[in-house]
């Protein structure tokens, strides 16, 4: 799916845990005035393994259209709340 198509498509629904992680990504980006959030920050904040965050959570958020790609650092689509 192209970036333009991803921006136009409605994002998929999130689980409660995915929503909490997405909100933490957005909070990190807004607080630090940056466009990216590292998986290590999410892992530490939620008590998860870095690889689990990158593979499972960032992967799911990217597939559902909430972040730009599954790689770390995460780049959220900030208009999707």
Q: Specify the CATH class of 16-81 in words.
A: mainly alpha
Mean pLDDT of the 46-66 span: 95
What does the pLDDT look like over 59-73, one tens digit per residue?
999 999 999 987 778
> How far is CA 51 from its chain centroid?
14
- 18 contacts 74 by C-beta, under 8 angstroms: no
> CA gyration radius for the chain?
12
Residue ranges per structural domain of the chain: 16-81
Q: What is the pTM of this model?
A: 0.81
Nearest to 39 by CA among 14, 75, 1: 75
Nearest to 26 by CA among 78, 79, 73, 80: 78
């Amino acid at each position: 799916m192209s970036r333009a198509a991803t921006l136009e498509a409605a994002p998929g629904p999130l689980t409660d845990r995915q929503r909490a992680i997405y909100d933490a990504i957005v909070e990190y980006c807004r607080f630090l005035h940056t466009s990216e959030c590292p998986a290590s920050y999410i892992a530490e904040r939620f008590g998860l393994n870095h690889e689990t965050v990158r593979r499972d959570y960032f992967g799911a958020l990217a597939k559902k259209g909430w972040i730009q790609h599954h790689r770390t650092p995460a780049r959220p689509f900030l208009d999707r709340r």
